[in-house]
Amino acid sequence: MMTTEKPIRVLHVLGTTNLGGAESRIMELYRAMDRKTVQFDFLVHTEKEGHYSAEIRALGGKIYSVPRFNVKNYRAYHNALVRFFEKHHDYAAIQGHMTSTASIYLPIAKKAGIPVTIAHARSAGVDRGVKGLVTKIIRHPLKHRADYLFTCSKEAAVAVYGRKAVMQGKVWTVPNAIDTARFCFNSAVRERVRGELGLSDRFVIGHVGRFGFMKNHAYLIDVFYELCKMRDDAALVLIGKGELEQEIRQKVRDLGLTERVHFLGTRSNVEDYYQAFDYFVFPSTFEGLPGSVAEAQAAGLHCLVSDKVTREAALTDLAVYRSIREPAANWAQEIFKNVKSAMMRRDMQRQIREKGFDVKVQANQMAEFYRTGKNPPGHCCGSSQS
């Protein structure tokens, strides 16, 4: 008699199901996962529907919500989590990508009976001001409150778990894997998208990222302003949304760049826009390991990247680093001198896969880990990685 086993379920904790770095990486993994054996559910800190909500449900996942934490509501937040895990504790594992409060929700999940708890550090910095300080304080004990400590880069590991935990070999580096085939250069898509944007004959600088302090859009605009002095055909395409968007729009107006800077908001088919770009510029003030830089390299784009971004993001020779303390004109000159080579796109899939960033391979490794609670993918982020 044939029997069918139900898939094990893994709970991922995020802020929202909107487009974002962590969300996009988890969705890449979810799509590649054998969902007959492993299914994902999501616990988010909002009741609003997000960009990925419909797709999650279509793939068989469930979405639950708890209130967003704001310090003052600690007791209400804690109690909401206790009530949730009293009802929903039949998970093989819980993976917390929202590390700001993971030291609160992971122990509650463990006490409720979830056998494997995972914290996943994805950023090497925090917001400015009081919010950032509170985040550091709350997550300080996290290294003692999870069964596994994951990270996307050594910098993110040190920022979230502390250097001692890293040096003691307690942290596992798990690559921000992508579907390399999805981003592989496609000349037909390039021409179509450039035509739709009215940029067929322009030299297009691209950026993908949320409009927030971390992404440093103000510096990016300065770089583009300097580049415009060198090339009359330069255009800038910005994909993303965020709280600083209006501030950046005003800066663009002040510099007289309105006709040359294109704000596209969020895009579900972001892979098409990488094809349309000629150069990818990424001057972040801090990062974990930005998936967008990996995606841009997979598309064969030359990438000019901030020195505040981990060198682990250089999956190919297409990524070049410069200091954001330099004058913006230096960045513009770096782009200008490489225009000719930037127009010669290469297939980088093999190189990226060899670095462990193939999501299909990672999906198999993670599925085995979720089923057994042993042998995480990636490598130990210990002293040998220093």
All structural domains of the chain, each given as residue ranges with its CATH number in brackets, are: 8-177+358-385 (3.40.50.2000), 180-351 (3.40.50.2000)
For residue 125, the model assigns a pLDDT of 65
Q: Give the pLDDT of residue 1.
A: 40
Which residue shows structure tokens 């042993």?
374
Entry pTM: 0.84
Share of residues in the chain with pLDDT > 70 (%): 96
Residue given tokens 């600690």 in the structure block: 74
Query: CA-to-CA distance for 244 and 240, rounded, in angstroms?
Result: 11
What value, to the nearest 5°, has the Cα angle with vertex 360 and ends 354 and 366? Answer: 100
Q: Give the pLDDT confidence of 308-334 residue by residue, as tens digits.
A: 998 989 999 999 999 999 999 999 999
Predicted pLDDT of residue 136? 81
What per-residue confidence (pLDDT) applies to 376?
85
Judge whether 148 and 117 are in contact, CB under 8 Å.
Answer: yes
Q: What pLDDT shows up at residue 123?
A: 79
Q: Count other Cβ atoms within 10 Å, centred on residue 356.
A: 17
pLDDT at residue number 138: 81
Q: Report phi then psi at 171, rounded to 5.
A: -120, 140
pLDDT of residue 4: 58
pLDDT of residue 130: 66
What pLDDT score does 290 carry?
87
Q: What is the per-residue pLDDT for 2?
A: 47
| Burial of 41 (C-beta count, 10 Å sphere; 0-12/13-18/19+) | middle
* Lookup result for tokens 């995020």: 14
User: How much is the pLDDT for 126?
Assistant: 59
Dump pLDDT digits (tens) for 163-215. 999 999 899 999 889 999 999 999 999 999 999 999 999 999 999 999 999 99
What's residue 191's pLDDT? 97
Q: Which residues of the chain have pLDDT under 70?
A: 1-4, 125-132, 382-386
Sign of the dihedral defined by the CA atoms of residues 270, 274, 277, 279, in that order: positive
